[in-house]
């Protein structure tokens, strides 16, 4: 029987925790589109900043009529790229979707 070292066990435990967080995020939000208000709340930014990020190509969005809709996964990745922890990014996106749709 091959017993992993303590460090290997801790690394595996961290991987399981990360995967658990990602699965919970995907179940709650994966594949959703957010409107302008939800995106501004998740990013904690103004409307002009949101438009600037759109023009710069930092966000994935599509139009439904005249309204831009933003991919929740893309917002999460952008938030993570600004040095926010993945768990915090998940929380911001999920709370923005749930607060406004509730």
**Taking 60 as the threshold, does the pLDDT of residue 50 lie above it?**
yes
Residue 71 lies in a domain: yes
Residue 59 lies in a domain: yes
**How many structural domains is the chain composed of?**
1
Average pLDDT, integer, range 2-17: 88
Residue 55 lies in a domain: yes
CATH number of the domain encompassing residue 20: 1.10.1660
Looking up tokens 């990014």 gives 89
Cβ distance 70 to 76 under 8 Å? no
Average pLDDT, integer, range 55-69: 93
State the pLDDT confidence band at 25, using cuts at 50, 70 and 90: low
User: Apex CA 50: angle with CA 43 and CA 72, to 5°?
Assistant: 50
State the pLDDT confidence band at 57, using cuts at 50, 70 and 90: very high
Which ranges of the chain does DSSP label H, i.e. alpha helix? 6-28, 36-43, 47-55, 72-81, 86-101
Residue 1 lies in a domain: no
User: Apex CA 73: angle with CA 58 and CA 68, to 5°?
Assistant: 60
Strand order in the sheet with 67-71: 33-34, 67-71, 61-64
* Residue numbers of the domain that contains 48: 6-101
Report the alpha-carbon distance of residue 51 to residue 30 in Å, rounded: 23
Model's pTM, two decimal places? 0.64
**Taking 70 as the threshold, does the pLDDT of residue 91 lie above it?**
yes
The pLDDT score that the predictor gives to residue 28 is 59
71-81 pLDDT, tens digit each = 888 888 888 88
């Amino acid at each position: 029987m091959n017993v992993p070292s303590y460090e290997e066990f801790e690394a595996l435990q961290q991987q399981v925790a990360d995967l658990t967080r990602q699965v919970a995020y995907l179940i709650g939000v994966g594949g959703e589109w957010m409107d302008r208000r939800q995106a501004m709340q998740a990013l904690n930014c103004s409307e002009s900043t949101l438009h600037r990020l759109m023009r710069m190509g930092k966000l994935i969005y599509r139009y439904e009529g005249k309204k831009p809709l933003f991919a929740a996964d893309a917002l999460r990745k952008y938030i993570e790229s600004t040095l926010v922890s993945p768990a915090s990014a998940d929380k911001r996106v999920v709370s923005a979707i749930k607060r406004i749709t509730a």
